[in-house]
Structure 1
Amino acid sequence: MTDSRLQQAIKRYQTAIEQLKTTIDASTDPNHLVADAVKPIQPEETKQQLTLTQVLEVFTARDEVQAALADTTQTSGESLAAITQLDKILKENASAIATICETADWQTSFNPPKEAWWWSLQPEHKSDKFWDGLDWFWSAVSVSSLTISLGLVGDISSRFLTGGPDTLGALAVSTQSILTLLTAGGALTLAGQEAYKSILKSRKIPERFWHEISAGFSLLLVFGLVGLRLSLPQIATQYSQWGFNNYQEGDWGSAEENYQRAIKLNPDDTLAHFRLGLLYEELQKLDLARTEYQIAVQDNIPDAINNLSRLYILNKNYPAAVALLLKALASEQKLKPSAETKHALLKNLGWARLMQGHYPDAEAKLLEAIDLQQSTKLTKNIAAPHCLLAQVMEAQKDKKGALTEWETCNQYADIASSTDDDGWVITAQKRLAEQENKK
């Protein structure tokens, strides 16, 4: 068979290539662009743009050339040279073709034979010594970032999941886990890498930048997780406030959960420790309350110092209570306790001194507490200093003065809000009854 059919196929291929090249050159010619900019565009002068039809014409023409080659028994060197030259032009314009179509998608639509390389035409990757030479570095950055991210996810998740996840905790854990898995999947799994490459191709991003972009996403994930980790104290403060609201509403179970979440998110949240100590004291879990107060005292919270000293007194650890109270009162300018808290500190110091048998010092501190409540017109816990002062006077054999203090103690005792007052008021009533019987 002669190569007449091949000549016709080559001619068609040549025509298609020329039209393709002309269109591409016209669309990228800077002189053409200038001309367009300086004069109005008429309908017949509208700049041509490369179309899918032109590309398909080139490919189908090349198919015809391949078919003619297969059927031709005598092929001239001139014909082969022409085909080689036209193929070279086609490959040189692969980048322009790739901007308007994804040839890989046509593999499914037209199912061309494997040897039909033009149907899977891709722009030739030009090696860049600088960028490509750093691929190992960016890969290392990606792996290192993902390792750090996984560690942060584990740390943050364990903090949020303490006591069971709530809505905010579940949202934080699921969001960071999904982002980490997506990033890790794109970098470490074959399916993820293929999907990642497909996305970058669709965005027309040069392949030489892929490693850098992957590293960038990994670093962004690390920065996001670090930001979340650094924001945990603020989130802990919110949990502590929710817990305090629950405490005031009498929902002590929810209050404990929120306090524990706050402490898990930020172990240094001394206010949350103090509030949890208050809750445990209400629940008569005094050992747990003492532990929480001890942590809060490290941040010099005056109310925590006062409450811890009271628990020391109840536990008969008077030296520890006195040392704590003396230090707090000596640092009054720094701690700036409220009048109510200072009143309680003086009362507890007088109480501890009473139990130690230091009656003059106990009397002095209790009188100072009484003077403070009168000068500042306090309305809470005003009975306690009088109840204790009555005991001091009894110990000093001042029965008349003691009786006066017992009367005040009985008058102002608030049994509903103070368990200490309950025991003292019983003694006060007993002393008053004894005095009444003597009349």
Structure 2
Amino acid sequence: MKKLVTVRNYRIHPAWFVAVVAFVALIGAAGFRATPGVMLHPLHAEFGWPLAVISAAVSVNLLLYGLTAPFAAALMDRFGIRRVAAVALLLVATGSGLTVFMNASWQLLLCWGVLVGLGTGSMALSFVATVTGRWFVKRRGLVTGVLTAGGAAGQLIFLPVLAVLVRDNGWRTASLTVTVAALLVVPLIWFFLRDHPRDLGVTAYGASAEGEQVPQPQGNAAVRAVRALRPAARTRAFWLLAGGFAICGATTNGLVGTHFIPAAHDHGMTEAAAASLLALIGVFDIVGTIASGWLTDRFDSRILLGAYYGLRGLSLMVLPLLFARETGPSMLVFILFYGLDWVATVPPTVALCRQYFGADGAVVFGWVFASHQVGAAIAATAAGLVRDRLGEYTLAWYVAGGLALGAAVLSLLLFRVRRHDRVTPPVTGLAEPGRWSLKTT
């Protein structure tokens, strides 16, 4: 075994370089996350597919995006972060690139839904949880917030560009742009991302000089992912976290991320202007998520989640009154407020998964994140159906606001989870995957 050296041999701890590479990789993977909103109407206009059909492809993507996460976390434990991330980006590039040849709706489901869903799912928030869990002890909440903000930064970078490309050159040019962006990140991942601190002969940032060595999991990664779910699913904490995060996905990626631009377009706003507003959400999201990570290091995560969900619900209740042809001050206030809250829920949710589920916290968070995407998939399709049947989105916004208020209640109910409900690793500190004990004291 390689002898570990103290971090004093480095002017800057290598963990920070890993975090930078992971941040760039998340930006590259986020390219596709910006495309559905700006392509719904162009695809509808060219092929005549109903918005509900196109939204279904987005739903398949969101569903696989979530369901892939726990298995991706287990695969990263088994084969390494670098290999899984590189393959994931190649899947995103392939799925996005093949869309330029499609002429039937089932091909949209295959490319947008299956290929890109699997790729982005492997680069989802379980990737963030795995990187921060291995490389950071101190500043873990802050780094989780920064890496989560990488997705928002990707939206900020890609969304206005893609909107202009769709307007001036067509949606195929935008799809190929996403393909190129994903491919450009692959060499960076392969040559500069490292799987473990021990690969560089150091401990995690903030760990003791001796370093706690966690054995590399062996065996089938899929089996480990399922095995990690079993004891977690027997706890009330898991279902409260999963229920709240499902509503989180429904009210962000599923509804706002997919349907904000078409909804604004229904009120006379141009798609480029609406895309700029979504990008502005991404700007404030970066600030909000980093601030949430900082707060997670200092305050009770359950209180933070309750506040985030409650404020989100109130803001969605107001949104239907703000749509207009021109962007008014009230809409800008909503964009600021909602942007700060967009994925601020991630750092406290990751922290609570580690608190309740110990060494398998990253894998269990993958399952919690799967619920996030199930909620997003349901909301994406449901909102499309509401638009097709009623001719407007108003009902969808009010229902989403009510659900977000419900998520706030679920988060605060975590205070009622007693100590014996918390899943913790054995007292040795080296939890064998899937082998947990329940505190009964």
* TM-score, scaled to structure 2: 0.20
The higher relative CO (CA closer than 8 Å, separation ≥ 6) is in 2
Larger gyration radius, structure 1 or structure 2: 1
